[in-house]
Amino acid sequence: MTQTPEPIITSQRLDLWLLHARFGRSRGTCAKIASGGHVRINRQRVTKAHAQVHVGDILTLPSPDRQSVIVIRVVACAGRRQSAPLAQLLYEIVPETV
């Protein structure tokens, strides 16, 4: 039996990407983060959970303590939620420049 390779995903809904990258515990939580205007994609405020995230996009997210922001670059999109170490491979943190 031959196994077909999984297609390479280059874009994905914002709420799904946040879920797969483990920025929320459920899709509903990720949808609230996305639709609440707390996320920016390439400096543009997003208010729709269905906004598309592409590989190479820069996301600005609130930190868990809501005191600062996290700036990340999307490196990959995943087809499903995976373990935390694999989820961290979906993005890289952009260092702050002073």
| Average pLDDT value for residue range 35-58 | 95
Tokens of 30: 């990720």
* Residue 42 Ramachandran class (φ > 0 left, ψ -120 to 50 alpha, else beta): left
| Average pLDDT value for residue range 44-64 | 94
* CATH classification (class only), 11-93: alpha beta
In the predicted structure, residue 29 carries a pLDDT above the cut 80? yes
- The 10 Å CB-count burial string (b at 16+, else e) for 65-76 is eeeeeeebebee
Share of the chain above pLDDT 90, in %: 74
pLDDT at 45: 96
**Domain coordinates in residue numbering, the chain:** 11-93
| Average pLDDT value for residue range 32-43 | 93
pLDDT at 4: 61
